[in-house]
Chain A
Amino acid sequence: MRWWAAVEWIDQLIQKGLKCVDEVEVFYVVGRSISADLKQKKINLASASEDCGLGIRTIHKGRIGSSSTNDPHKWSECLDAAVASGHLATSLPWDGLPGAQAISHAPLTFDPTMKVEPASALALLEQMLEGAEEHAAEVTAGSAGLSTATVTLANSSGVHYTDSHTGVSLSLEAIHEQSTGSEFDHSSFMDKVDPFHVGERATFFAHESAGGKEISTGNYEILLSPIAYAELLGSVFIPALNGRNVHAGRSKFAQSLGEKVTDPLLSMYDDPLLPGASGSVSWDAEGMPTHRVDFIREGVLGAFAYDLKTAYRYGKTSTSSAVRGGYGGSPGIGHHNFVVDGKRSTIEDERVVYVHSVVGAHTANPMSGEFSVELSNAFWMEGGEFQEPIRSAMLSGNVFSMHNEIIGISPESRSLGSLILPSVKINKQRIIGK
Chain B
Amino acid sequence: MGSITYYDLRHVTGQITHIDIDNGIFESAGTTFFNKAVLRVISNTGWGVLQIDNYQPRTGKKFDELLQKACTLSSITQEKVNLGDVSRGALAVPVMKEDPRSVSIEEKSAILAEIEKGAIHPSVVNRRANYIERIEQVEFSDSSGNEYAYEMCRSGFNVLAVASRNGNTQMGYEREHSIHGFNLRHHQDLGKKAADIAVALLDAKGAHGGKMKAILDPELAGVFAHEAVGHASEGDLIQEGNSVLKGKTGQKIGNELLTIVDDPGIHEFGFDPIDAEGVAVRRTEIIKNGIVNAFLHNRESLAAVGNGMAGHARGMPGEPPLVRMSNTFIEAGDATDSEIFEECKNGIFLKGSRGGQVDPGRGVFQFNAEYGYLVKNGECTGMVRDVSISGDILTTLHNIALCGNNRKMSPGYCGKGGQSVPVSDGAPTVLLCDAVVGGSGMD
Give chain A's interface residues, CB within 8 Å of chain B: 34, 36, 39-40, 42-53, 64-74, 77-78, 81-82, 84-86, 88-90, 92, 118-119, 121-122, 138, 140-141, 173, 175, 178-180, 217, 248-250, 252, 254-255, 328-330, 359-360, 362-363, 365-368, 370-374, 376, 392, 394-398, 430, 432, 434
Q: 23 A-B pairs, CB-CB below 8 angstroms?
A: A36-B77, A44-B46, A45-B47, A45-B77, A50-B51, A51-B51, A67-B31, A71-B33, A71-B54, A88-B106, A90-B26, A90-B27, A140-B241, A217-B210, A248-B22, A249-B23, A250-B162, A359-B358, A360-B366, A360-B388, A363-B355, A372-B386, A373-B438
| A42 to B45 Cα, complex, angstroms | 11
Does B338 lie at the interface of the complex (its beta carbon under 8 Å from any beta carbon of A)? no
Q: Would B440 and A372 count as touching, CB distance under 8 A?
A: yes
Of the residues B49, B77, B210, B320, contact of A432 by C-beta under 8 Å: B210
* Nearest 6 interchain pairs by C-beta: A85-B30, A372-B438, A249-B125, A363-B368, A49-B51, A47-B49
The answer to whether A180 and B23 touch (CB under 8 A), given A88-B30, A359-B359, A432-B438, is no
Q: Would A175 and B365 count as touching, CB distance under 8 A?
A: no
Output the nearest chain A residue to B25 by Cβ-Cβ distance: A90
- Chain A residues with CB under 8 A of B26: 88-90
Add 16 more A-B contacts to A69-B32, A69-B33 (CB < 8 A).
A39-B236, A48-B73, A49-B52, A70-B34, A84-B30, A89-B29, A90-B25, A119-B76, A140-B242, A250-B162, A329-B28, A363-B356, A363-B357, A370-B386, A374-B366, A376-B364
- Chain A residues with CB under 8 A of B50: 47-50
| A47 to B69 Cα, complex, angstroms | 10
Does B333 lie at the interface of the complex (its beta carbon under 8 Å from any beta carbon of A)? no
Of the residues B31, B70, B81, B164, contact of A249 by C-beta under 8 Å: B164
- Minimum CB–CB distance from B105 to chain A (whole Å) comes to 6
- For B, the interface residue count at a CB cutoff of 8 angstroms equals 87
Q: Would A359 and B30 count as touching, CB distance under 8 A?
A: no
The answer to whether A368 and B73 touch (CB under 8 A), given A88-B26, A175-B361, is no
- Minimum CB–CB distance from B229 to chain A (whole Å) comes to 16
Q: Would A376 and B359 count as touching, CB distance under 8 A?
A: yes
The answer to whether A66 and B30 touch (CB under 8 A), given A46-B49, A175-B242, A367-B171, is yes
- Chain B residues with CB under 8 A of A250: 126, 128, 162
Q: Would A46 and B73 count as touching, CB distance under 8 A?
A: yes
Interface residues of B in 413-443 (CB under 8 A from A): 436-440, 442
Q: Would B126 and A40 count as touching, CB distance under 8 A?
A: no
The answer to whether A371 and B54 touch (CB under 8 A), given A82-B30, A88-B106, A430-B209, is no
- Minimum CB–CB distance from B79 to chain A (whole Å) comes to 4
| A406 to B212 Cα, complex, angstroms | 31
The answer to whether A248 and B126 touch (CB under 8 A), given A39-B79, A372-B209, is yes
Q: Would B171 and A365 count as touching, CB distance under 8 A?
A: yes
Does B362 lie at the interface of the complex (its beta carbon under 8 Å from any beta carbon of A)? yes
Does B188 lie at the interface of the complex (its beta carbon under 8 Å from any beta carbon of A)? no
- Chain B residues with CB under 8 A of A374: 357, 364-366, 390
Does B244 lie at the interface of the complex (its beta carbon under 8 Å from any beta carbon of A)? yes
Q: Would A363 and B366 count as touching, CB distance under 8 A?
A: yes
- Residue among B354, B359, B388 with max Cβ neighbours from chain A (10 Å): B388
- Chain A residues with CB under 8 A of B356: 360, 363
- Chain B residues with CB under 8 A of A372: 209, 368, 386-388, 438-440
Of the residues A39, A44, A88, A397, contact of B29 by C-beta under 8 Å: A88
- Minimum CB–CB distance from A209 to chain B (whole Å) comes to 8
The answer to whether A360 and B367 touch (CB under 8 A), given A368-B170, A374-B390, is yes
- Chain A residues with CB under 8 A of B363: 178
Q: Would B30 and A65 count as touching, CB distance under 8 A?
A: yes
Output the nearest chain A residue to B211 by Cβ-Cβ distance: A434
Does B146 lie at the interface of the complex (its beta carbon under 8 Å from any beta carbon of A)? no
| A316 to B70 Cα, complex, angstroms | 51
- Residue among A40, A45, A67 with max Cβ neighbours from chain B (10 Å): A45
Does B298 lie at the interface of the complex (its beta carbon under 8 Å from any beta carbon of A)? no
Does B35 lie at the interface of the complex (its beta carbon under 8 Å from any beta carbon of A)? yes
Does B378 lie at the interface of the complex (its beta carbon under 8 Å from any beta carbon of A)? no
| A346 to B402 Cα, complex, angstroms | 51
- Minimum CB–CB distance from B82 to chain A (whole Å) comes to 12
- Chain B residues with CB under 8 A of A362: 354-355, 357
| A173 to B359 Cα, complex, angstroms | 11
- Chain A residues with CB under 8 A of B46: 42-46
- Chain A residues with CB under 8 A of B379: none
The answer to whether A359 and B364 touch (CB under 8 A), given A40-B241, A64-B28, A376-B359, is yes
The answer to whether A373 and B366 touch (CB under 8 A), given A71-B35, A394-B438, is yes
| A44 to B388 Cα, complex, angstroms | 37
- Chain B residues with CB under 8 A of A252: 167, 169
Output the nearest chain B residue to A330 by Cβ-Cβ distance: B28
Does B11 lie at the interface of the complex (its beta carbon under 8 Å from any beta carbon of A)? no
- Minimum CB–CB distance from B104 to chain A (whole Å) comes to 10
Q: Would B73 and A118 count as touching, CB distance under 8 A?
A: yes
Output the nearest chain B residue to A398 by Cβ-Cβ distance: B440
- Chain A residues with CB under 8 A of B54: 52, 70-73
- Chain B residues with CB under 8 A of A53: 53
- Chain B residues with CB under 8 A of A359: 357-359, 364-366, 390
Output the nearest chain B residue to A70 by Cβ-Cβ distance: B53
Interface residues of B in 224-282 (CB under 8 A from A): 236, 239-242, 244
Of the residues B318, B355, B362, contact of A178 by C-beta under 8 Å: B362
